[in-house]
A = this chain, B = another copy of it.
Amino acid sequence: MNENKSYDIADLSLAPEGKKKIEWSGREMPVLKLIRSKFAKTKPLAGITVACCLHVTAETANLMLTLQAGGARVILYNTNPLSTQDDVAACLVKNYGISCYAIKSMPREKYEKYINSVLNFRPNITLDDGADLIATIHKKRKDLLNNIIGGTEETTTGVIRIRSLEKRGLLKYPLIAVNDSETKYLFDNRYGTGQSTIDGILRATNILLAGKKFVIFGYGWCGKGIAKRASGMGAQVIICEVDPVKALEAVMDGFSMMPSTEAVKTGDIFVTVTGDKSVLDKKHFSFLKDGAILANSGHFNVEINLGALEKITGKKTRVRPMLDEYLLNDGRKIYLVGEGRLANLAAAEGHPAAVMDLSFADQALCVEYLVRNKGKLASKVFKVPDAITDKVARLKLNSLNIKIDNLTPEQKDYLSGWEEGAFG
């Protein structure tokens, strides 16, 4: 690696494969494509530097090209060591001149070092998936604050972190919680994570899901999506939850509900998707059946306590790509998908482009919104403006050639009135 280069990627020669991937994804991202062609004309991001800490996938590449089309200088970095697609990174650097710092399985030291290379571009806008840029700026790089217009956050876990910052009165620039847009969490988290988690598990294991006991930790939007898909593949779904309302929903949706210490005794496959740490912990491991398969689809690789697992492990073997066998000291074998990192990104290709189209259309329009409202927004966590959510949804329906109804003036009146009731 050349320390002077404004990128660090695995292999530039992979660019042609990456280009094919980016174009293939682009085919399923018609809304982002529309925004991109509008950006190319209006250049709303001219002169703006955007630093992005996102999974380096073909879909993300399409977002990068959209921001670039809008006039922005774009830097892309990834804190998840397994989610980078090296060919995509190569193409971004080689074909599009985008600074990219991401190598699949890059060692930890690099992550810590490169975040400074990224921030040294002195970004005006930050895009985060997990809030690592935001956190680093707030912890160590306050010098950058006066350059920053605002930022966005893509995922549930990151939103929890930035709300915590806000609550403690520490937040120093305006942030938009893209995750909380209806055109994001209702689709990306549910249908995206749902399908791609199943996909990751299948590629890693090739096991039959029909008839298996499939335990999901967390019945939020991601958990609901995974449950629906696992059930759609014929698995018996078991849910573990800490929230009583979500637990009741799981029950009424027809799933088994168990305390986690019971679920581990009976499950065949386990997926954590809670946003919290040590969801599968020491107290659970001793009950797992021989042959149990563990996977995580939560943002960080802390949901399965790998340290605790390793302590009781005699020997670890890679039995298939992205699948490790832990031979425990007591003789049981436990299997871990994708090193406990996001199974859909580590073992498959992440969320399908068709849902990322929605999420990243939200992102692109939010960046434009932040720039247009420069200096007018307080240092708070904002929702995605309703107009953006509505616009993204309508563009998507158009692209699918689906028509919906419109309220008549009479119907609008009725909805906004209070006098008309049972007596007419």
Contact = CB atoms under 8 A, between A and B. Distances in A.
Interface of A: 20-21, 23-25, 27-28, 79-80, 108, 111-112, 130-132, 135, 138-139, 160-162, 164-165, 168, 170, 182-183, 186-187, 190-192, 194-195, 198-199, 202-203, 206-211, 228-229, 231-236, 240-245, 247-249, 251-260, 262, 275-279, 291, 300, 302, 319-320, 348-349, 351-355, 358, 389-390, 393-394, 396-397, 400, 402-408, 410-411, 414-423
Q: Determine how many copies of this chain the complex contains.
A: 4
A278 B410 contact: yes
A404 B242 contact: yes
Given A403-B259, A418-B164, A353 B240 contact: no
Given A207-B354, A418-B135, A418-B162, A20 B319 contact: yes
A5 B84 CA distance: 44
A80 B405 CA distance: 29
Contacts of A352: 206-208
A210 B233 contact: no
Contacts of A209: 195
B210 A195 contact: yes
A212 to B, nearest CB: 8
Nearest to A301: B422
B208 A353 contact: yes
A348 to B, nearest CB: 8
B161 A422 contact: no
A400 B278 contact: no
7 contacts: A162-B418, A195-B202, A210-B251, A210-B252, A248-B358, A275-B415, A300-B421
